[in-house]
Every structure is written in structure tokens, then in C-alpha cells.
């Protein structure tokens, strides 16, 4: 027995039914009201036209199974076309129809996408203009001017608000995913990218720790330290267009590299060669030393790449070789894990002492 777990689709389907019933009931009530109002003999033709158009358009829109907002836009487009029909078939209803059209845009603008708003507003303006041209309607000019100004105002106001909101959302997303100092992606981006990796995809990871960054900060100040971090970030970003450079925090960086292990090793060598070049700061040239731990999907699962690169990085610090691969041999791996754990403990102890001294 198959049981559907798509609650979103089910909820949307359940929402369609009351909306459809509401639409049918409102259409019948509007047509009844038109017949009851003193709008002349044309009111019967207008009511019949609205009834027919609404039922046919509802059937067509429901058949396409649109998303809810697209469905709303399609229904409103039909209703605003009926403003034109009302003015032509029944001139006495022209003013009322135009007012309803303008009010409809104002009420529904917050829920419409810019795409639909830019379709519906011109239809409303054309309806106010065409009906007086086809039928002799007194006092149409002020209505045309007012409706045009209101529609333009609401359309461009809404479009501007949507664009500003989109830009604000994009900026907030960028700030949430990037380090403010260096502009690199942050730890969250790396973790998400590692989670998305397929174990069959060849991927390497570099974990980079600046060995002498604390001395640089203590000797030259945090402004120079920030300059060094930004310079290192730039060096990582230019290694290859295909890599993801990340600042993990403090003086730790990471680089995610697609491709075979040879490519990971080549990027690591390139990083070390770049860091050999002194960094120009306000206090003079500064040489940065770094240790790089390397792991690759050929010897580790994707979710373990970061942990194994950290183990390898400690091994690079211990040996002074500059870079080191994660070793898959069980005895070597156990030794590396123990040394990495001790390093982390010392770092946490040092950090706690700094906090206590402040």
C-alpha cells in the first residue's frame, strides 16, 4: 500500500476547493446584483457575459493546475478584462467597473508577483480608455486620467518594493554565507557543500592554519593581522576558478577542490608557493608560514574529509613539512587523531586563559 507523504501538495489541493467554491458563489452573487441594479436593459447581457466568461476561465485555469499565486494572477487578469467588457456592453456600469478594477489592483498588489502586476495594470488602463471610444460615455476623461495615474503608481511602487526586497534578501543571504573580513565563503557553506557531495565524486580538501599569525597580531597589531588575513584570502581565491575557498574562523582556512588527488596536491603546493611571497603591510613586509592538511575522497568519505584534513594539518605542523596527506593506515590514523585531539585541547586551554586574563 502506498501512502503519500507530500503534505504540501495535499494542503494546496485542500486549499483549492474552498477557493473554487468561493469564486463560483461570488460570481453568481455579482451577476444577481447586476441584474437587480438600475443599469438599463443591457444589464442582462452583461450578467450573462460575466457568468459565461467566469465559468469558462475558471475551468481553463483549474485544468492547468497553476501555483496558487499564478492562479490568483490569472483570475485577476480575467476579471480586469471584464472591466472592459462591462464598459462596452453596459455603459452605465463603466464608472463602477473602473472603480472596482482600480480597487482590485490596490488590494491584491501585495500578493501579486511583478510579472502578473505588469500584465494586469495595463489591461485596467486600456479598459478605461477603450470603452469610452467604443461607446459614448460622458465624463470618461477624468476617470481615464485618475485610473491611469493610480495604476502606474501602484504598479511601479509595487515593482520597486519587490526589487528592493529581493536585493535585501540577496544581501542578507550573502552576508550569512560569507566572512565579513575576507569576503570568502564561511564554514556553513563548506559544511553544506560537503553534505551535498556524492561519495563517488572525486574531491579533495585542504585545511590551512597560519603558523605564525598570533605572533604577527601580537607584534604588529590587529590591523596588520587583518591585512594578512585578507591577503591570504586573495591568494586562495586565485588558485583556480573551480575551487571553493573558505575562511573557517581565526587564522584557519579551507579549500574544497574537485578532481583527483593530484589536483589537490598541486593546489596545496600553489598555496605554499604564494605564501612564500612576503605580504606588504603598513609596518613592512611580512612572511606568513602555514601548515596544510590534505584529505581526498579516494581515502575518506565526504563527511569525514574535514576531520581527516584537520588530522593531517596537525601532522604537517609537527613535522614542519608545510603540507601533509591524511594517512589511511589504521595505526598512523590513530596516532594522528590523538595528536590532533591534544592540539585542540591546548588551543582551547590557551583561549580560556586569554579570556580569563581579559
Q: What is the pLDDT of residues 1-22, one digit of tens each?
A: 333 334 444 444 555 666 677 7
What are the structural domain ranges in the chain? 10-176, 187-357
3-state secondary structure of 329: coil
136 burial class (0-12, 13-18, 19+ CB within 10 angstroms)?
exposed
Question: Is the separation of the CB atoms in 294 and 323 below 8 Å?
Answer: yes
Q: Which of 65-69, 126-130, 228-232, 274-278 has the lowest mean pLDDT?
A: 65-69
Q: Which residue has the cell 579516494?
A: 298
Q: What is the CA radius of gyration of the chain?
A: 33
3-state secondary structure of 345: helix
Task: Read off the C-alpha cell for 129.
Answer: 480608455
C-alpha to C-alpha distances, 323 to 209, 255, 269, 277, 278, nearest whole angstrom: 10, 13, 8, 17, 19
Cross-strand bridge partners of residue 209: 252, 291
Question: Is the separation of the CB atoms in 317 and 212 below 8 Å?
Answer: no
Q: What is the pLDDT of residue 190?
A: 92
Q: Is the pLDDT of residue 107 over 60?
A: yes
- Between CA 10 and CA 6 the distance in angstroms is 6
- Between CA 76 and CA 159 the distance in angstroms is 17
C-alpha to C-alpha distances, 52 to 27, 48, 85, 205, 239, nearest whole angstrom: 10, 6, 12, 65, 66
- Between CA 182 and CA 184 the distance in angstroms is 5
Q: Is the pLDDT of residue 220 over 50?
A: yes
Q: What is the pLDDT of residue 1?
A: 35
- Between CA 172 and CA 192 the distance in angstroms is 18
Pairing label, strands 279-281, 284-286: antiparallel
- Between CA 33 and CA 43 the distance in angstroms is 10
- Between CA 114 and CA 83 the distance in angstroms is 21
Q: What angle do CA 342, 348, 354 make, to 5 degrees?
A: 140
Q: Is the pLDDT of residue 299 over 50?
A: yes
- For domain 187-357, give the CATH superfamily: Reverse transcriptase/Diguanylate cyclase domain (3.30.70.270)
**Each residue of 290-301: b (16+ CB within 10 Å) or e?**
bbbbbbbbeebe
How much is the pTM? 0.51
Active site residues: 251
- For 160, phi and psi rounded to 5 degrees? -65, -40
Q: What is the pLDDT of residue 8?
A: 42
- Between CA 294 and CA 237 the distance in angstroms is 17
Q: Show the beta-strand stretches assigned E in 189-264.
A: 203-210, 244-249, 252-258
- For 291, phi and psi rounded to 5 degrees? -120, 135
Average pLDDT for residues 236-252, to the nearest whole number? 87
Q: Which of 112-121, 226-235, 241-250 has the lowest mean pLDDT?
A: 112-121
- Between CA 112 and CA 162 the distance in angstroms is 10
Question: Is the separation of the CB atoms in 116 and 70 below 8 Å?
Answer: yes
User: How many alpha carbons lie under 13 Å from residue 301 in its C-beta half-sphere?
Assistant: 3
Q: Is the pLDDT of residue 106 over 60?
A: yes
Average pLDDT for residues 132-158, to the nearest whole number? 70
DSSP 306: H
Q: What angle do CA 21, 26, 31 make, to 5 degrees?
A: 130
- Between CA 242 and CA 357 the distance in angstroms is 44
Pairing label, strands 279-281, 290-296: unpaired
Amino acid at each position: 500500500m502506498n501512502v503519500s507523504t507530500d503534505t504540501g501538495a495535499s494542503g494546496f489541493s485542500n486549499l483549492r476547493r474552498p477557493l473554487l467554491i468561493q469564486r463560483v458563489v461570488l460570481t453568481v452573487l455579482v451577476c444577481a446584483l447586476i441584474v437587480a441594479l438600475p443599469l438599463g436593459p443591457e444589464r442582462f447581457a452583461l450578467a450573462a457575459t460575466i457568468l459565461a466568461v467566469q465559468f469558462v476561465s475558471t475551468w481553463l485555469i483549474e485544468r492547468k493546475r497553476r501555483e496558487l499565486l499564478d492562479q490568483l494572477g490569472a483570475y485577476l487578469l480575467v476579471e480586469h478584462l471584464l472591466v472592459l467588457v462591462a464598459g462596452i456592453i453596459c455603459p452605465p456600469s463603466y464608472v463602477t467597473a473602473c472603480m472596482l478594477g482600480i480597487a482590485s489592483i490596490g488590494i491584491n498588489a501585495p500578493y501579486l508577483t511583478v510579472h502578473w502586476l505588469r500584465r494586469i495594470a495595463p489591461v485596467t488602463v486600456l479598459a478605461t480608455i477603450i470603452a469610452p471610444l467604443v461607446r459614448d460615455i460622458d465624463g470618461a476623461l477624468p476617470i481615464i486620467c485618475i485610473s491611469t495615474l493610480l495604476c502606474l503608481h501602484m504598479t511601479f511602487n509595487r515593482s520597486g518594493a519587490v526589487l528592493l526586497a529581493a536585493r535585501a534578501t540577496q544581501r542578507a543571504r550573502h552576508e550569512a554565507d560569507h566572512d565579513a573580513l575576507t569576503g570568502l565563503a564561511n564554514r556553513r557553506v563548506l559544511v553544506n557543500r560537503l553534505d551535498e557531495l556524492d561519495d563517488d565524486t572525486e574531491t579533495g580538501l585542504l585545511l590551512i592554519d597560519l603558523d605564525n599569525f598570533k605572533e604577527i597580531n601580537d607584534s604588529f597589531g590587529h590591523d596588520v593581522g587583518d591585512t594578512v588575513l585578507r591577503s591570504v584570502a586573495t591568494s586562495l581565491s586565485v588558485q583556480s576558478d573551480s575551487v571553493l575557498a573558505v575562511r573557517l574562523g581565526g587564522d584557519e582556512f579551507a579549500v574544497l577542490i574537485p578532481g583527483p588527488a593530484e589536483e589537490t596536491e598541486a593546489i596545496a603546493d600553489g598555496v605554499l608557493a604564494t605564501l612564500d611571497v612576503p605580504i606588504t603591510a603598513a609596518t613592512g613586509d611580512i612572511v606568513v608560514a602555514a601548515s596544510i592538511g590534505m584529505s581526498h575522497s579516494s581515502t575518506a568519505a565526504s563527511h569525514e574529509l574535514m576531520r581527516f584534513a584537520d588530522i593531517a594539518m596537525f601532522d604537517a605542523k609537527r613535522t614542519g613539512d608545510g603540507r601533509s596527506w591524511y594517512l589511511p593506515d589504521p595505526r598512523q590514523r590513530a596516532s594522528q587523531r590523538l595528536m590532533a585531539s591534544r592540539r585542540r585541547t591546548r588551543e582551547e586551554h590557551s583561549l580560556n586563559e586569554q579570556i580569563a586574563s581579559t
